Amino acid sequence: MTTELIEKEKTESNNFLEEIIEQDIAAGKNGGRVHTRFPPEPNGYLHVGHATSICLNFGLALKYGGKCNLRFDDTNPVTEDTEYVDSILADVRWLGFEPAGVYYASDYFPRLYEFAVDLIKKGFAYVDDSTAEQIAALKGTPTEPGKPSPYRDRSVEENLDLFERMRKGEFPEGSKTLRAKGDLASSNMIMRDPLLYRIKFAHHHRTGDDWCIYPMYDMAHGQSDSIEHITHSICTMEFIPHRELYDWCIEKLDIFPSKQYEFARRNLSYTIVSKRKLLKLVNENHVRGWDDPRMPTISAMRRRGYTAAAIREWARRVGIAKREILVELSLLEFCVREDLNKIATRSMVVLNPLKVVITNYPADKRELMEMGNNPEDPNAGTRKLPFSNEIWIEQDDFMENPPPKFFRLSPGSLARLKGAYIIQCDEVIKDADGNPTELRCTYFPESRSGSDISGLKPKTTIHWVCANCGIPAEVRLYDRLFTVEDPANDERDFLELINPDSLKVVPNAIAEANLAEAMPGEKYQFLRLGYFTPDPDSKPGKLVFNRTVTLKDAWSKAKG
């Protein structure tokens, strides 16, 4: 983590969590120590919602000179996989954060088991033979207290014996659970004898077949926080009802007093942020994989060309709140544009080529036009672009019968070729259907960019690529994956809301020769078209570019 990042975190304004932390530091709580954690369940790839949580937890640690752990919350053997573990670690690091430690809740299984034994010994937990239905039936309602299970008063000895035998695999799945002896009259339903352990004969991605009982969330999360001496355990609002049990377990076990704090989830417009639904998109081939650039996963955003700095800046601007909101996707795109504008190398690519022949330019002549790589960055240097009598321009930049405000090329009109000469269109050659196939133009030798003495004032500047040395490229244009703003809260199934035009492949674009060696990870601005990055599918001789984002926000313009 760079010192620049630390300085930035320190100067930002306070949010309510920062106020809590600052009060704790002032009161000397935990010796003034701040230790947070990011606790993903390795059952999918991280998405943009997780990114806000990562930035929050690591950001707080940075700001207060503390630490932040990455802890895999891998207590559910059925859905978890090492593929996800690897991707999560890579994504956290790519975002710019290095965990103080990488831990696995599953490494704590022996200690969590000891904790459970301790609760039994202290009379705070019991083995219940009731079925899930029986437990539910006795639970009561928010206004009516629950009734005790017939097994609630088993002796400590009997509970210890049964729990050990559960662990040894003597009982079938679903036949017994370990429950806390909570408060059956509590208005918080979670306190009414919550489940702590269940029997599950499942293979775990790390502990294999060592265990056939697994702790429930409430028997694992706070205890893991405590084992790691986490001071501020930050989670999303749906865990508010669990806070009482979190504190209860810590108190009864008499272990390090971690504290839970909640903030509202961040949802992004035109996007789904639920691993379960994202998994469905992948498994049913609605997208090309977890890192399909249309996905809201961190790996997809990376592939698409978003920068970690832009995502961090976005998370900072969104901030945290207690109320769930739908964050505009356009704000994230704005942050991406802002960052890419500073770092992207400028280049010229023509998506839909139309041939221009410059009739008064010698056919055997070549000139090299020098162009800046990035006007925003004086250190970015320049590059040379070959110019010849045949060039490609964008089909959209020509119109035979233009409407009054069409300031591009048309018969008789002038256009500046970016960084080169002014041309005039003299003649349009068309195919049998009347579509233009070639423009015959003349150029003005004294209009060369940088030394223009022509006195001509074309109303437009267009991009171009030399037809004698341009190289072919495939360009993938992405649009929003969903057609509605809030697909997660729509009455229709989210699969029906997929935008059929979310991917457009331009198979035969032509790129300037300087892009021949472009590599994934590099950032480009194709003049007038947007920001682009080579896809991992790209290789020299077969270039493939992803459009990261357009130059301007076409959607907000269209909306209003």
Q: Annotated active-site positions, please?
A: 41, 265, 275
Q: How far is the C-alpha of 365 from the C-alpha of 512, rounded, in Å?
A: 18
Encode 294-331: b = buried (16+ Cβ within 10 Å), e = exposed: bbbbbbbbbbbbbbbbbbbbbbbebebeeeeeebbbbb
- Tokens 């000469």 belong to 421
Residue 137, classed as helix, strand or coil, is helix
Using Cβ positions, the residue closest to Mg ion within the complex turns out to be 41
Q: Contact at 8 Å (CB) between 39 and 260?
A: no
Strand pairing class (345-347; 524-526)? parallel
Binding footprint of Mg ion, residue count (CB under 5 A): 1
Of residues 72 and 97, the one with the C-beta less far from Mg ion: 72
Q: Which does 77 bind (CB under 5 to 8 A by kind): ligand ATP, Mg ion, none?
A: none
Q: Contact at 8 Å (CB) between 46 and 84?
A: no
Q: Which does 548 bind (CB under 5 to 8 A by kind): Mg ion, ligand ATP, none?
A: none
- Least distance from Mg ion to the Cβ atom of residue 236, Å: 9
Of residues 321 and 363, the one with the C-beta less far from ligand ATP: 321
Nearest C-alpha neighbor of 477 from the set 499, 447, 457: 499
Of residues 48 and 391, the one with the C-beta less far from ligand ATP: 48
Residue 235 binds ligand ATP (CB under 6 A): yes
Residue 279 binds Mg ion (CB under 5 A): no
Of residues 318 and 409, the one with the C-beta less far from ligand ATP: 318
Which of 266, 304, 448, 476: binder of ligand ATP (CB under 6 A)? Answer: 266
Using Cβ positions, the residue closest to ligand ATP within the complex turns out to be 49
- SS3 for 42-103 is CCCCCEHHHHHHHHHHHHHHHHCCCEEEEEECCCCCCCCCHHHHHHHHHHHHHCCCCCCCEE
Of residues 274 and 449, the one with the C-beta less far from ligand ATP: 274
Which of 24, 30, 36, 50: binder of ligand ATP (CB under 6 A)? Answer: 50
Residue 40 binds ligand ATP (CB under 6 A): yes
Q: Which does 52 bind (CB under 5 to 8 A by kind): ligand ATP, Mg ion, none?
A: ligand ATP
Of residues 45 and 532, the one with the C-beta less far from ligand ATP: 45
Stretch binding Mg ion (CB under 5 A), from 38-46, 306-314, 320-328, 364-372 = 38-46
Non-local (6+) Cβ contacts of 124 within 8 A are 180, 181, 252
CB atoms within 10 A of CB 404: 5
Residue 49 binds ligand ATP (CB under 6 A): yes
Binding footprint of ligand ATP, residue count (CB under 6 A): 15
Which of 6, 29, 32, 41: binder of ligand ATP (CB under 6 A)? Answer: 41
Restricting to residues 385-424, name those near ligand ATP by CB under 6 A. none
Residue 332, classed as helix, strand or coil, is helix
Of residues 41 and 328, the one with the C-beta less far from Mg ion: 41
Of residues 63 and 221, the one with the C-beta less far from Mg ion: 221
Which of 22, 41, 118, 158: binder of Mg ion (CB under 5 A)? Answer: 41
Residue 236 binds ligand ATP (CB under 6 A): yes
- Triad 285, 288, 290: Cα angle to 5°: 100
Burial class (CB in 10 A: 0-12, 13-18, 19+), 11: exposed
CA distances in angstroms from 110 to 38, 113, 117, 214, 222, listed in the order given? 22, 5, 11, 11, 15
Q: Which does 462 bind (CB under 5 to 8 A by kind): Mg ion, ligand ATP, none?
A: none
- Least distance from Mg ion to the Cβ atom of residue 461, Å: 51
Stretch binding ligand ATP (CB under 6 A), from 14-22, 24-32, 47-55, 299-307 = 47-55
Non-local (6+) Cβ contacts of 187 within 8 A are 142
Stretch binding Mg ion (CB under 5 A), from 37-45, 171-179, 283-291, 531-539 = 37-45
Q: Which does 274 bind (CB under 5 to 8 A by kind): ligand ATP, Mg ion, none?
A: ligand ATP
- Least distance from Mg ion to the Cβ atom of residue 39, Å: 9
Which of 30, 52, 69, 260: binder of ligand ATP (CB under 6 A)? Answer: 52
Which of 111, 200, 265, 280: binder of ligand ATP (CB under 6 A)? Answer: 265
- Tokens 């330019």 belong to 361
Strand pairing class (67-72; 102-104)? parallel
Residue 415 bridge partners (DSSP): 423
Which of 227, 273, 439, 509: binder of ligand ATP (CB under 6 A)? Answer: 273
The pair of three-digit structure tokens given for residue 300, joined into one six-digit string: 């997809």
Stretch binding ligand ATP (CB under 6 A), from 46-54, 62-70, 387-395, 474-482 = 46-54
Residue 395, classed as helix, strand or coil, is helix
Stretch binding ligand ATP (CB under 6 A), from 33-41, 331-339, 517-525, 531-539 = 33-41
Q: DSSP character for 446?
A: G
Stretch binding ligand ATP (CB under 6 A), from 3-11, 96-104, 263-271, 391-399 = 263-271
Q: How far is the C-alpha of 407 from the C-alpha of 460, rounded, in Å?
A: 6
Q: Which does 265 bind (CB under 5 to 8 A by kind): ligand ATP, Mg ion, none?
A: ligand ATP
Q: How far is the C-alpha of 270 from the C-alpha of 480, rounded, in Å?
A: 6
The pair of three-digit structure tokens given for residue 528, joined into one six-digit string: 């007038």
Nearest C-alpha neighbor of 191 from the set 243, 113, 136, 128: 243
Q: Which residues bind Mg ion (CB under 5 A)?
A: 41
Residues that bind ligand ATP (CB under 6 A): 39-41, 49-50, 52-53, 235-236, 265-267, 273-275
